Amino acid sequence: MDKSKTITAKLGIDVGGTDVKFAVIDNNAIVYRSKIPANKESVDAILNEICDECKKIAKEYPYSSVGVGVPGIVYDGLLTTINLPFKNTPVAKEMEARIGMPVAVDNDANCAALGEVLGGGGKIYRNAVLITLGTGVGGGVIANGEILRGRGCAGELGHIIIQSENGRKCTCGQTGCLEQYASAKALVRQATEAAGEHPDSMLAQLYRENGELNGKLFFDALHKNCPVAEAVFDKYLDWLCVGIKSFQMIFDPEVILLAGGITKQGDNFLKPLKAKLGEGINVKIATLQNDAGVFGAANLSM
Amino acid sequence: MDKSKTITAKLGIDVGGTDVKFAVIDNNAIVYRSKIPANKESVDAILNEICDECKKIAKEYPYSSVGVGVPGIVYDGLLTTINLPFKNTPVAKEMEARIGMPVAVDNDANCAALGEVLGGGGKIYRNAVLITLGTGVGGGVIANGEILRGRGCAGELGHIIIQSENGRKCTCGQTGCLEQYASAKALVRQATEAAGEHPDSMLAQLYRENGELNGKLFFDALHKNCPVAEAVFDKYLDWLCVGIKSFQMIFDPEVILLAGGITKQGDNFLKPLKAKLGEGINVKIATLQNDAGVFGAANLSM
């Protein structure tokens, strides 16, 4: 190893409820990966195990800074999480003391947005919105080239209210949140309801055969031209469009990136969505997807 | 005039469809005002008249920079308006050539947001949302201490969709926009509809006596405890809350400022609104109101 060579590599860490993913990024590419289980016992336990892994990786592939994405709120340098033991924990400071290197910490959805913007196709956007369609609707916003943070909780894109009257109750306490209509979970719910209403449909048949519906079964029915699945998808895209249009009005971004399992449908998803949105909204499928978190985390110090 | 003294004053200009307002701001206060009619004939005519007034003011109260707020889109330094003749006009450059001084130009709603944040009560917020309730619902956003601009059109707060199904048609082409429910104009429409449904109400009586309803008549009925007016106002505040909650989820700002004629109701407006919003959302009535535009414009160069 030539010690005189400037180290350009950065370590990105994506802390999840189950695993902690590590990736060394060099020259805009992931050059090393590893993973450890998330220790939920105590703040010290999880930080020690993460920092031990950092040290181990440094021997394999030296890096000059560390960025960490965590599912929680970072306010004034203090991290608070729901599914992990952090509570007003100065994570960056604690880690810097353990590994002797600059550490930056941010919310995981913010890291994903930054990762997609920096790494997605190589084009850097100054204004971009990432919408992740999963169990919920998450996301992050890059405005004026920076992560939109507010007081620490900005970018709760799934919780804009899109149905004021007779809206569905949301887990957040509000009613009518986008998440209740445009998440992958909502799509499966809408499909299950439609299967119940149309017992002769292919969708209903798949439901009976499998005891339930999921995303895969729904798209199976859709690709086999089940008209009930088609109607469900059409309506689902309408709901999603409402969210996308609102974000366009608010942020006027150069691009709106979509991520999550549904987007694996590629053009089958994107083409009808674009047709509904019309001109003026540049919507694309995110390219990094599950790697966006580590990628953005590594670039937090930028 | 002591020429050796550093000039701290700045000139703010608020270009409207009817008038162009000028104000010199010094030490965070308006120290000089003037107004000229907006000349809609040609770009040259309006720029010449504005710059002549700038030169006149400079003799009365010297200033060191100029900021201009205009109802239009500024993209890459080029201004395009609907009600004024600007079309891809490099306004800042054109004015700098005429008056020999740095000039900055931005959208008028953005200027108002900046003005309220800088001038409203002296407290500077790094993250704030200004919602103006008028004929439409306008506003501007300060994120990470900067005006949120996107590609030039960000902050169209009145056009987030709050009613996806059976929403009212909006002038923007969408249906269900916040503006159709929470503008001052929408409140008067809601009151007029309620008057029609309740011909025995005080509201209906005021309607018959005046041939129409307006904001003043509506609040007269409300203050005289007309139960129909009370129900209209309660529902109106519900719609407004939907918008406010969505902006809180998206921007997580330190404050949401409300401006426009309705907010002159003061606590009669703010108290019930706060009660509906609950904890965690810091909503306040804007203090500068009609002066926010010139105030923010003057501070554009900051």
By CA distance, what is B140's nearest residue in A?
A250
Contact call for residues A231 and A104 (beta carbons, < 8 A): no
Q: How far is B8 from chain A (nearest CA, A)?
A: 28
Cβ-nearest to A250 among B152, B156, B254: B156
- Give per-residue burial for B5-33: e unless 16+ CB within 10 Å, then b: eeeebbbbbbbbeeebbbbbbbeeebeee
Asked if B251's CB is within 8 angstroms of A150's CB, the reply is yes
Per the structure block, which two tokens stand in for A300?
């937090």
Which residues are within 8 A (CB) of A118 and not within 5 positions of it... i.e. 6 or more apart? A28, A124, A295, A296, A299, A302
Q: Which of B146, B164, B250 sits opposite A242 (nearest CB)?
A: B164
pLDDT for the residue numbered A4: 46
C-alpha to C-alpha distances, B7 to A237, B30, B58, B103, nearest whole angstrom: 57, 15, 11, 16
B155/A127 touch (CB, cutoff 8 Å), yes or no = no
CB nearest to A160's CB, from B141, B160, B163: B160
Query: Can you give the pLDDT of all 302 residues of chain A as single tens digits?
Result: 455 468 899 999 999 988 999 999 998 899 999 999 998 899 999 999 999 999 999 999 999 999 999 999 998 899 998 889 999 999 999 999 999 999 999 999 999 999 999 876 556 899 999 999 999 999 999 999 999 999 999 999 999 999 999 999 999 999 999 999 999 999 999 999 999 999 999 999 999 999 999 999 999 999 999 999 999 999 999 999 999 999 999 999 999 999 999 999 999 999 999 999 999 999 999 999 999 999 999 999 76
Phi then psi for residue A252, to 5 deg, are: 45, 50
Chain A nearest C-alpha distance from B247 (Å):
7
Mean pLDDT of B230-250: 98
> In what helix (H) or strand (E) does residue B26 lie, and over which residues does it extend?
strand B19-26
Model pTM score: 0.92
Q: Are A92 and A104 a contacting pair, CB within 8 Å? A: yes
Query: pLDDT tens-digit profile of B149-165?
Result: 999 999 999 999 999 99
Contact B32, B23 (CB under 8 A): yes
Distances (CA, A) of B266 to B59, B262, B270, B274: 39, 8, 6, 12
Rounded distance between C-alpha atoms, residue B197 and residue A222, angstroms: 47
Q: Which residues of A touch B163 (CB under 8 A)?
A: 163-165
Instruction: Give the C-alpha separation, A249 to A39, whole Å.
Output: 42
Q: Which of B131, B234, B251 is the mutation pick for testing A, counting most A CBs within 10 A?
A: B251
> Residue B5: which pLDDT band, with cuts at 50, 70 and 90?
low
What is the pLDDT, as a whole number, of residue B118?
86
| Chain A, chain B: beta-carbon pairs less than 8 Å apart | 105
Which among B144, B150, B176 is the nearest to A252, CB-wise?
A: B150
pLDDT at B2 over 90: no
The contact set of B with A (CB < 8 A) is 127, 141, 143-144, 146, 148-157, 159-165, 174, 176, 181, 238-239, 242, 245-246, 249-254
pLDDT for A154-194, tens place per residue? Answer: 999 999 999 999 999 999 999 999 999 999 999 999 999 99
B31 to chain A, closest Cα gap in Å: 33
- Classify burial at B168, counting beta carbons within 10 Å of its beta carbon; exposed 0-12, middle 13-18, buried 19 or more: middle
* SS3 (DSSP) at A238: helix
Report the pLDDT value the prediction gives residue A40, as an integer from 0 to 100: 86
| Interface mutation target, options B127, B149, B180, B246, chain A, most CBs of A under 10 Å | B246
Rounded-to-integer distance, Cα B239 and Cα B248, Å: 15
* Cβ–Cβ gap B156/A181 under 8 Å: no
Domains defined for chain A, CATH in brackets: 10-115+292-298 (3.30.420.40), 122-286 (3.30.420.40)
Q: How far is B110 from chain A (nearest CA, A)?
A: 12
Residue A120 is predicted with a pLDDT of 63
Using CA coordinates, name the residue in chain A closest to B248.
A154
Q: In chain B, whose CA is at the least distance from the CA of A249?
A: B156
Task: State whether A157 and B242 contact (CB < 8 Å).
Answer: no
Find all residues with CB under 8 Å of A62, minimum gap 6, and list them. A1, A7, A9
Asked if A151 and B254 come within 8 Å (Cβ–Cβ), the reply is yes
> How many residues belong to chain A?
302
